[in-house]
Amino acid sequence: MHVQFYLTLLDTYLPDPDDRTAAFAAVENIPSIREKAEFCFKWMDSVEKLDQLESKADRRRFLLNLICFAACIEGLFFYGAFAYVYWFRGRGLLHGLATGTNWVFRDETMHMSFAFDVVDTVRKEEPELFDEELGQQVTDMLREAVEAELQFAQDLCGDGLPGMNTESMRQYLECVADQRLVRLGFAPVYGSENPFSFMELQGVQELTNFFERRPSAYQVAVEGTVDLDEDF
């Protein structure tokens, strides 16, 4: 559903087929996006070769994969992307993108929270995995994620936007990274504060933004089917 939502918006924002083709090839042509992809390959690809978690090393690899998914992909890269969207929303722009992203934000936050709960369970069942070496690996992982996302921020922000620039994005990403480290039971490393008030507000799940046209809370017991070919 998330993919369908963003594909629909992409068709709207980039009606020219050549522009859409270029957008889909961004990972090949834009170094900052390729850097994020290579980060994922480095920390997550090896788990695909694991059929069983027989050794401590296997379980550590799986655990690092899960932590990368929760803390770096869902918990840092996505939160960086959300910040750009909500910066537009705060200026009354891109209503459809902001409203749809509210649903995505909730879903991805739930994914992250569930993954952290699984990590908590692993910590209870196999506390020996959570040693000093793992703590250093996770810290290094998040430092790399911050730098990869910051390269992307430099491409987007350029010389700076009203209320957002590369330095404020660095501060925000460092703040988020510290939050993820603390949630995982490790010491924070940056000590940065969140510079974006609009991202503090986003933590209030049922908030209906001043610029939104209708609330984006999920409904319960919706009847009927979802037709992905209908207009949004």
Token pair recorded at residue 54:
């027989």
Total structural domains within the chain: 1
Residue 14 belongs to a domain: no
Residue 228 belongs to a domain: no
Residue 226 belongs to a domain: no
Residue 1 belongs to a domain: no
pLDDT, one tens digit per residue, over 53-94 is 778 888 998 999 999 999 999 999 999 999 998 888 888 888
Residue 35 belongs to a domain: no
Residue 33 belongs to a domain: no
Residue 50 belongs to a domain: no
Which entry of 6, 13, 172, 218 is annotated as an active-site residue?
A: 6
**With bands split at pLDDT 50, 70 and 90, how would you rate the model's confidence at 14?**
confident
The three-point CA angle 87-210-222 to 5° equals 100
209 within 8 A of 93, measured Cβ to Cβ:
no
Residue 6 falls in the annotated catalytic set: yes
Which domain, by its residues, includes 141?
60-202
- The CATH code of the domain that includes 131 is 1.10.620.20
Residue 224 belongs to a domain: no
Supply the pTM of this predicted model.
0.82
pLDDT, one tens digit per residue, over 31-60 is 999 999 999 989 887 666 777 777 888 899
How many whole angstroms separate alpha carbon 212 and alpha carbon 97? 10
